[in-house]
Amino acid sequence: MTITIRDDVVYIMLKKIDESDKGPGPDPVQFSETDFAGIPMTTAEFLGHLDYLNQRQYINAEFSGNAYGNQDDVPNLVNEEEFGLRIANTYGAPDGPLPHLIEFKKAELTKKGQAMLQDMEVNPPKTMQSGPTVPIASKDTPFLEKVALKGGISDLYDARDLTEVVYRVMRDLMTNEAVEHVSEELHVPLDEGNPDRTLYTATPLATQVSDLWEDTNPIVHFLSHIRPQLKIRSSTFLFRVKNEGGLQPNTTPERVVSAVFSATKDELSPERVAEVASFLPDEIREMWDKA
């Protein structure tokens, strides 16, 4: 089996690995289907691009997990003994669309890969210049757009409402002091890139992420400051998000929670990230750490 190496896919992969670099040596990297929105691609093609970049020494990568899931065509493309990859396919079918989450153990750009990325940033692939068909969620992406992209949410109103629900459950687990610490760091505009504010007229008071964190419902806002700190299991956390959030059929509570976690962590200091983690139950804490 052969595949065609696409410049736009290579560019997205190199950029995502570069953005995940936190210091010397390989660092954890996560790809989601939203990174490749608008690009039709099978799992085998995704793995083939990784194989190409690794074999040509553009990246130094370590993979972990189940080798290729049940993808029968993958071993024909990549040496099964050389690579392992955990594939979590929300859609179920082994030959279905790109899985919602494919996770490296660690990866970094080599000098050769850094040079290639620099060249591609100066002269991006033509398909990247045709408009926002390949959205990439980065630290510079407006908060709710980031939640929508990573959470598989088509409507920014829904992204706002689901963010508020996730925050509501998080606050129930935390002390009032810890909640206040987070609030102090979340003064980030919700309407960045939307200067006329037409997007948020439904809740004009929610102009910052801290408004959602504190809750725009005045009754809930009040009760959250007098309620006792709760002990909530991971299953209960996800159950509440599913039932209180009104999820769209094409996403899951896990994906939404991870999206909100990722967008939130981008705005918090390392000290605050660690403080929040200390209150979260087992599986939810793992999701926070990986986001």
3-class DSSP state for residue 239? helix
As to burial, measured by CB atoms within 10 angstroms (0-12 exposed, 13-18 middle, 19+ buried), residue 277 is middle
pLDDT at position 246 = 79
pLDDT band (50, 70, 90) for residue 279? very high
Most confident of 75-79, 88-92, 168-172, 242-246: 168-172
Work out the average pLDDT over 126-153.
65
Of 54, 34, 291, 285, the residue nearest 148 (C-alpha):
34
Evaluate if residue 274 carries a pLDDT over 80. Answer: yes
Residues 13-55: tens digit of each pLDDT: 898 888 887 777 777 777 777 777 777 777 777 777 887 887 8
Q: What was the pLDDT predicted at 80?
A: 35
| pLDDT of amino acid 127 | 60
Complete domains list, the chain, with CATH: 7-129 (1.10.10), 143-290 (1.10.490.110)
**Between residues 26 and 261, the one the model is more confident about:** 261
Burial 201-228 (b: 16+ CB within 10 A, else e): eebeebebbbbbbbbbeeeeeeebeeee
More confident residue, 141 or 177: 177
At 190 the pLDDT is 66
Average pLDDT over residues 183-199: 60
Q: Percent of the chain beyond pLDDT 70?
A: 72
- Tokens, residue 195: 């200067």
**What is the predicted pLDDT for the residue at 29?**
78
> What integer pLDDT is reported at residue 64 of this predicted model?
52
Is the pLDDT at 92 greater than 60, yes or no? Answer: no
Higher pLDDT, 101 or 141: 141
